[in-house]
């Protein structure tokens, strides 16, 4: 994770899904970008308590970066490959 110290969120990727978890995850701002900087997802699709899932099963294979910003403005990022 390319996280900033103090961020309340954790970003994970598995099974073509990004999960953002942590305190107030339901208030997080989440963006997914291609390596060229094009935003491909900005809205979480499912919120369940302390985690948010973004489904990327419809995305083309490639490398993406997810950026999550917590309610205090701290940001964490993670790079992952969709296969």
Q: Hey, what are 7's tokens?
A: 């961020």
12 CB-near residues (< 8 Å, 6+ apart)? 18, 19, 21, 78
| Whole-structure pTM value | 0.81
| Residue 56 confidence class, pLDDT cut points 50, 70, 90 | confident
1-44 pLDDT tens trace = 455 557 878 899 998 888 888 877 878 889 999 999 999 988 65
């Amino acid at each position: 994770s390319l996280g900033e110290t103090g961020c309340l969120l954790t970003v994970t990727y598995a099974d073509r899904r990004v999960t953002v978890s942590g305190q107030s995850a339901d208030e997080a701002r989440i963006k997914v970008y291609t390596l060229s900087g094009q935003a491909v997802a900005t809205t979480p699709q499912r919120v369940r308590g302390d985690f948010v899932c973004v489904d990327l099963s419809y995305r083309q294979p490639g490398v993406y970066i997810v950026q999550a910003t917590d309610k205090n403005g701290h940001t964490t990022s993670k790079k992952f490959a969709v296969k």
